[in-house]
Structure 1
Amino acid sequence: MKFPVKNELLKRLFAAQGEPVSGQDIADEFGLSRTAIWKYIKELEEEGYEIGSMRKKGYYLIKAPDLVNAANISTYLETERYGRHIHYFSTCPTTQTIAHEEAQGGAADGTLIISEEQTAGKGRLARPWTSNAGRGIWMSLIIRPRLAPQQAPQLTLVAAVAIVRAIEDVAEIQPVIKWPNDILLNGKKVTGILTELQADPDRVKAIILGIGLNANQESEDFPDELQSIATSLKIEKGEHIDRAKLVAKILHYLEHYTALYIEKGFAPIKLLWESYATITGKRITARMVNETVEGTALGISSEGMLELKLDDGTVRGIYSADIEIKN
């Protein structure tokens, strides 16, 4: 959903950093009345924005709510397509299901589904994902790249690179990537990526890229069984994270690296991914559906598979597995 005038008004209020923004100038620019601008201001106030006014000077932003709504995200957005259509929910079972429905209905490339809370969040292999209200980033992005279906799994690795770059920029901390779809801080999981596909036999119709990112949780927000393996950016950084700014930065890098992947292939993504990876040279256990193998991780192949050197010297390409790092 796009609200260009209201979003532009909010963007200017943010950019002014407490200085007044002329409602008359915006009204003239968009061919609207001063009353129409006043109504937008009232809508923003109803959404939780605290806005003051100065006679003959305009409106100024006092305080913004900590929401990942279209208005807040659009304030920071740098993309051409990704995030230019946003469906925002205060709560939903899972953004991934909504995104599938929207994609089947013809939603545009880059459409974002995002919620403050998920009541039935899921990760890889349909495992439950704790999605605290107002604490994390729970989102699904609809991507429509010109790819063959067998290339779709590489988008998980593209997404991992994009998310790590965004966390570096916004939180100024250094995460690492654990194959195939986890991002870690100090050995604990901070982000999971779920890539699902809508496709014909010969072409991708849509990739639904689900991202669950722990942003502002405290330790006690995690269930007891997760406290030793999960963390948040706030726990590791010691500071509150602007979630809307981080979402916009993730979308920026996703658009950039997806375009790079489509234009240049997987090779440049592979180099970036390996520079952030934790597994190369490590001894790992890989648990697949029908077997478990151990060996030394060599990195990833040109197709994005994990390459594992087994104890007998053979190299095994692993497409999908749960891995445990031994050293």
Structure 2
Amino acid sequence: MAFSLSPLAGLSSYRLEAFDSVGSTNAVALERAHAGDPGKLWVVSKRQESGRGRRGRAWATPAGNLAATLLLVESYELKTAATLGFVAGLSLADALDAVFAQTPSLGSARIGLKWPNDVLVDGAKLSGILLESALLPDGRFGIAIGIGVNVVSHPEDLPYPATSLQALGSACDAETLFLALSDSWRENCALWNEGRGLEAIRARWLERAAGLGGEVAVRMGGRVISGIFETIDEDCQFVIRDEDGARVRITAGDVHFGAVASAKAV
């Protein structure tokens, strides 16, 4: 089966460029932006040789997993574009809902969104999302929204639980998942509406939020802030109620849930 867009995504002017193997789908997408691509381009592959995650960390995409990047070329504020990571998380969660509906044993699986950019199933990491941007000569910018999903395999040597669709008992392949993703992205991006619908995205994201109301620790460089995960605010910042009862807003950091995870974070 070859990669393809959902019919409605195609009618909404999205385009597709698929590779058997690629260095980095994000890198290809930003190259296309510099070459004058107008955006709304999906770059996808089942194998990625030099993928990366947040803060330059490696993100392996062995053969059979999904590496998908959507290139958008826009002129609104980069602060607004940064919230597209929440649109991506929701879109993947919706696509997984459709996939899991085909596997009765996965009917009770809990799909959770971990701030700012991970998708979990029953507490184990299934997917990571990475946004990268580049300023273009005409004053606009290209933004690459990278989504990596463990479809047939997942790394074993991580300091946190990870999983794959295959390990969960799903027979879904990368092509089928991407087909569903291209459709759910179209719906959620329309809801987001260049940031004007961010409150609706935020509300939907919170319905799926992992760890909401529980103990959390966030590492920011050498500093760790602990407390209760209260919400994400109107700008999608992470909000903790600390031990003194103060609300602390966090724009970036590594999140750890629960008492044990909090201890590890320290």
TM over 0.5: yes
**Separation in 1, partners of 2:66, 2:142:** 22
Is it true that 1:192 corresponds to 2:134 in the alignment? Answer: no
Q: Residue in 2 aligned with 1:9?
A: none
- Unpaired segments ≥5 residues, structure 1: 1-64
Decide which of 74, 81, 103 is 2:33's aligned counterpart.
103
One-letter identity of the residue aligned with 1:151: T
With structure 1 as the length reference, what TM-score do the two structures score?
0.71
Decide which of 225, 232, 235 is 2:167's aligned counterpart.
235
Q: Residue in 2 aligned with 1:308?
A: 240
Matched position secondary structure for 1:122: coil
One-letter identity of the residue aligned with 1:285: A
One-letter identity of the residue aligned with 2:79: Q
Matched position secondary structure for 1:78: helix
Would you say the 8 A contact 1:117–1:138 is kept in 2? yes
Please give the per-residue CA displacement for 1:55-109, whole angstroms capped at 9, x wherever unaligned: xxxxxxxxxx4xxx4xx414x4421467842222211221111111011112132
Residues 165 and 145 of structure 1: is their aligned pair in 2 closer, same or farther, counting only changes over 3 Å? farther
- Within-5 A mapping of 1:247-266: 247-262=178-193, 264-266=196-198
One-letter identity of the residue aligned with 1:265: G
**Separation in 2, partners of 1:132, 1:185:** 20
- Within-5 A mapping of 1:128-277: 128-134=58-64, 136-172=65-101, 173=106, 174-199=110-135, 205-217=141-153, 222-226=154-158, 229-236=161-168, 238-262=169-193, 264-277=196-209
Q: Residue in 1 aligned with 2:213?
A: 281
Shift of the alpha carbon at 1:145?
A: 4.3
**Separation in 2, partners of 1:99, 1:309:** 39
**Separation in 2, partners of 1:166, 1:146:** 28
Decide which of 106, 120, 131 is 2:50's aligned counterpart.
120
**Percent identity for Structure 1 against Structure 2:** 26
- Unpaired segments ≥5 residues, structure 2: 260-266
With structure 2 as the length reference, what TM-score do the two structures score?
0.86
Would you say the 8 A contact 2:155–2:162 is kept in 1? no
Shift of the alpha carbon at 1:257?
A: 1.4
Higher helix share: 1
**Separation in 2, partners of 1:319, 1:305:** 5
One-letter identity of the residue aligned with 1:117: R
Shift of the alpha carbon at 1:224?
A: 3.6
Asked which structure has the greater CA Rg, the reply is 1
Shift of the alpha carbon at 1:140?
A: 1.1
RMSD of aligned Cα (Å): 2.3
**Separation in 1, partners of 2:75, 2:182:** 19
**Separation in 2, partners of 1:204, 1:160:** 24
